Amino acid sequence: MPPQPKPEGHDVFISFRGSDVRHTFVSRLRAALRREGVTSFADHDMPRGQNLTEAIPRAIQRSRVSVVVLSRNFASSEWCMDELVTIMRCCSRGGHVAIPIFYHLSPEEVSGCYKEDLDRHKRSFTYERVDGWIRAFAWVAGIAGWVVPAPVSELS
């Protein structure tokens, strides 16, 4: 039986804070997925000139799985937080799976780690938007995922 064609989109959408993990963890993750025949999408796959506010949610919706790489600076990016809310909504509708990767932090650290960024965002964004981000963080912290511990040299 010939392989079934994939629907438009990618197998996996990867949400991450670029400055934290783009050239390290995420590039290795994408290479490993590619070796296994899994297509992935990350923001730098976007054609230049495309409207990100429309294209990113569409890419999430067209993926089967979202991998959320939660690093220390994830919450400093409103884009990352909006992606997380979209991922949460897709999962709540069914047919979409989220896999969190806690990069150099534990699930228990998520809310505390992001408190300062969220407090700063409360001064710039609406209550509803920030509240959605807070709910999304609580949701993703409760999903079984993987923890990538910080190297010992970073802990001392």
The one catalytic residue in 78, 83, 108, 109 is 83
Q: How far is 104 from 112, CA to CA, in rounded Å?
A: 14
- Strands (DSSP E) found in 9-154: 12-16, 40-41, 65-70, 97-103, 146-148
Structure tokens at 81: 């937080």
From CA 149, how far away is CA 103, in angstroms rounded?
7
Per the annotation, the verdict on 108 as an active-site residue is no
**CA separation (Å) from 89 to 3, 4, 5, 30, 98?**
30, 27, 26, 24, 11
Alpha helices in 52-109 (DSSP H): 52-61, 78-93
Largest CA distance in the chain: 57
Task: Cite the active site residues.
Answer: 83
